Amino acid sequence: MHKRNFHTQIDFMNRQVYNKIFTGTSIIAVILCCIILFFLLGVIFWNGFSAISFDFIFSPSSNFGAEGGIIYQIAGSLLLVLVSGLISFPIALGAAIFKSEYIKSKRWSKISSMLIYGLNAIPSVIYGIFGLIFFVNFLGTGISWFVGSIILAIMILPTIIFSAYQSINSVPTSFRESSLALGFTKWQMIYKVLLPQGINGAITGLLIGLARAIGETAPIMFIATAFSGVELPGSLLEPVASLPTHILALAQQATNTDALENAWGASLILILLVISFSLSALFLRLKTKKH
Amino acid sequence: MSVLSNKIGKSYVMTSALISAAVVLLISITLLINSWDAITNVGWGLFSFNWNPSTQEFGILPMIYGTIAVTLIALVIAVPLGIFTAIFTSEILPTKYRLSIKSILELLAGIPSIIYGLIGIAFFSIWVQDIFDLQSGRTILTAGILLGIMILPTVITLTDDALQNVPSSYREASKGLGLYKYEVIKNSILPIAKSDIIGAILLAFGRALGETMAVMLVIGSIDKIPDSIFNWLNPGQTITSKLGREIAESSYGSTHFSTMIFMGLILFVFVLLLTFFAQKKLSHSNRLYE
């Protein structure tokens, strides 16, 4: 009897010790993560703010990016992603409606989900080499910003489809049934009932997609961009300058301190663009939730 | 009129769905056709250790080794750190802070990989160089550490979701039995969330394999397996960094080009397989607890 009590006592103490070790480990993990977080954001913002100025943002680059600003890189990046959004949005919306309203069997619904997950998982550099083979060489477009937009459009397709699908699919079935009972055709039902409800989800997806697209380097670096001497493209088949490829070129001459400083400046601007797209998506999502 | 619009509408959504599906097919076919030359001409020579296009040697094993080594280091860093952090955010941290934590994680996940690469070049590679007293800090280890940090938000977010999916009745019941928090998590929450967590790790694995820019900038880009395969303080090369550095230099249609595409194909197939396994793990448990 006495012995058993002694053992429970030990067990109890062991349990307490394990609990403390466990909680301690979690807290250490969190602290490590916080250090990493503050380091990353600190480095980007600290180095970035000391590198940017009004002149830096609004003047063209010179001397291989080591001097001057990044106005054409900003314009080029915005052009690339906005056009990619224009291409991707209608296709994604249609595909989302198809998945939600026209696919009946569970099996096809699963297959379509797998296709979306697959498209979403393809490494970005694979999109780049696909564009290089199919558009630049096979179709003979050469280095072209428009091809870059098409490739980015393909890349953000799954993001928009998924977000649009979720919001369209979440419209209650009774809405569909009552509008069909009123004599709407299926398309009228989709257009007048589902779309007004689902459009916010699609736009949220678009903004998330744009936030991702504007930071991508690998898909566009072989097919759409040129480093120096590029201003705004005059036709669809000309290269463009972009922020991520500009940072890449500057990072490769990292021993040159001027180049490195401009790389930090360009990085800050790029991150601010990413954040403004994601924040718009966040606000839209919160606004939709409130209704 | 309404009949016509019905038809137009239907053909619009069907075309969109077809385009989306066709893209996946088109990418697979393009990769396969263009790697055919390497498969027939180089054949088993692909799986050798020497890469030298000028002597027609196209061994891709150094790149496969580099990819595995870098991904392994990244997972060893990100998985334990991410799971413990997720346990903290999901089980220990009060619920009112959750939204801000989630937003910060999304912010981190949104940092473009080229910026991670810049940070890697400006800081990490220099630290590695100084700590280990190397000629150059651009090594397999540097790339692995950087990659581990990059996939950390993915691991944390998905594990946190997995833990949140466990109904709180399980927590309450185990707590009611007088179990400590550690015992609640270890004995009732983790076993239930296990499948989802494995799915999360597989997804992070897939992301790590495909990451290009950051790895390319800090890995050193030498197509050689180090003398001792665990000597990660040597420069190396991954499939993605190889593609990023060399694809523009190889001429379209050459065996060199085709071998590069073959490496892309291997990466493509492997990442897709990982994603499908991951989704199986994830959807399985979703069905169970919905």
The pLDDT value given to residue B286? 39
Residue A230's Cβ-side half-sphere holds a number of Cα atoms within 13 Å equal to: 27
The confidence band for B1, taking pLDDT boundaries of 50, 70 and 90, is low
Q: Which 70-129 residues of chain A touch chain B by CB within 8 A?
A: 90-95, 97-99, 101-102, 112-129
Q: Which 19-58 residues of chain A touch chain B by CB within 8 A?
A: 19, 21-23, 25-30, 32-33, 36-37, 40-41, 43-44
User: Phi-psi region for residue A183, left (φ > 0), alpha (ψ -120 to 50) or beta?
Assistant: left
Domain contains B13: no
Domain contains B10: no
- More confident of the two residues B230 and B24: B24
Whether B36 has a pLDDT exceeding 50, the answer reads yes
The confidence band for B288, taking pLDDT boundaries of 50, 70 and 90, is very low
Whether B100 has a pLDDT exceeding 90, the answer reads no
The confidence band for A276, taking pLDDT boundaries of 50, 70 and 90, is very high
- The candidate with the shortest Cα–Cα distance to B108, out of A35, A261, A260, A121, is A35
Domain limits for position B87: 43-289
Quote the tokens at residue B171: 């927590």
- The candidate with the shortest Cα–Cα distance to B267, out of B190, B211, B224, B193, is B211
CB contact under 8 A, A33 and B9: no
The confidence band for B96, taking pLDDT boundaries of 50, 70 and 90, is confident
Question: What are the beta bridge partners of residue B52?
Answer: B57
- The candidate with the shortest Cα–Cα distance to B19, out of A94, A135, A155, A100, is A94
What is the DSSP secondary-structure string of B60-71?
A: -HHHHHHHHHHH
Q: Which of A123-137, A162-176, B35-49 has the highest mean pLDDT?
A: A123-137
Domain contains B19: no
- Residue B227: partners with Cβ closer than 8 Å, 6 or more residues away: none
Distance CA A36, CA B281 (A): 30
Domain contains B28: no
The pLDDT value given to residue A290? 66
A16 touches chain B (CB under 8 A): yes
Distance CA A291, CA B281 (A): 34
Distance CA A46, CA A40 (A): 10
CB contact under 8 A, A187 and B81: no
Q: What residue spans of chain B are helical by DSSP H?
A: 2-41, 61-87, 98-109, 113-119, 125-131, 140-164, 168-176, 181-184, 190-210, 213-218, 239-246, 255-289
Backbone φ and ψ of A232, nearest 5° = -85, 140
pLDDT in tens, A19-62: 899 999 999 999 999 999 999 999 999 999 998 888 888 888 87
Domain contains B34: no
- The candidate with the shortest Cα–Cα distance to A238, out of A9, A72, A114, A24, is A72
- The candidate with the shortest Cα–Cα distance to B9, out of A195, A170, A169, is A195
Quote the tokens at residue A181: 């009972």
Residues B256, B53 contacting (CB under 8 angstroms)? yes
| Residue of A18, A120, A154 with shortest CB distance to B182 | A18
CB contact under 8 A, B9 and A186: yes
The CA-atom distances, in angstroms, between A7 and each of A12, B187, B289 are: 8, 22, 39
Whether A268 has a pLDDT exceeding 80, the answer reads yes
The CA-atom distances, in angstroms, between A179 and each of A103, A185, A186 are: 19, 9, 9
Whether A7 has a pLDDT exceeding 50, the answer reads yes
CATH number at residue B210: 1.10.3720.10
Question: Which of chain A's residues have a Cβ under 8 Å away from the Cβ of B244?
Answer: 125, 218, 221
| Residue of A40, A121, A252 with shortest CB distance to B272 | A121
Quote the tokens at residue B242: 């190889």
CB contact under 8 A, A248 and B276: no
The confidence band for B249, taking pLDDT boundaries of 50, 70 and 90, is confident
Give me the number of domains chain B comprises. Answer: 1
ipTM of the complex: 0.91
- Which of A12-26, A111-125, A226-240, B266-280 comes out lowest in average pLDDT? A226-240
- The candidate with the shortest Cα–Cα distance to B270, out of B202, B198, B201, B196, is B202
Domain contains B23: no
Domain contains B18: no
Residues B209, B274 contacting (CB under 8 angstroms)? yes
- The candidate with the shortest Cα–Cα distance to A165, out of A76, A96, A258, A266, is A96
pLDDT in tens, A93-125: 999 999 999 988 889 988 998 899 999 999 999
- Residue B265: partners with Cβ closer than 8 Å, 6 or more residues away: B31, B32, B35
What sign results for the dihedral spanned by CA atoms B153, B159, B161, B164? negative
The pLDDT value given to residue A6? 64
The pLDDT value given to residue A2? 55
Residues B148, B74 contacting (CB under 8 angstroms)? yes
Distance CA B255, CA B58 (A): 9
Q: What is residue B14's three-state secondary structure? A: helix
- Residue B211: partners with Cβ closer than 8 Å, 6 or more residues away: A123, B113, B147, B150, B151, B240
Task: Say how many CB pairs under 8 Å bridge A and B.
Answer: 250
Residues B162, B196 contacting (CB under 8 angstroms)? yes
Domain contains B33: no
- The candidate with the shortest Cα–Cα distance to B150, out of B122, B103, B114, is B114
* Average pLDDT for chain A: 89
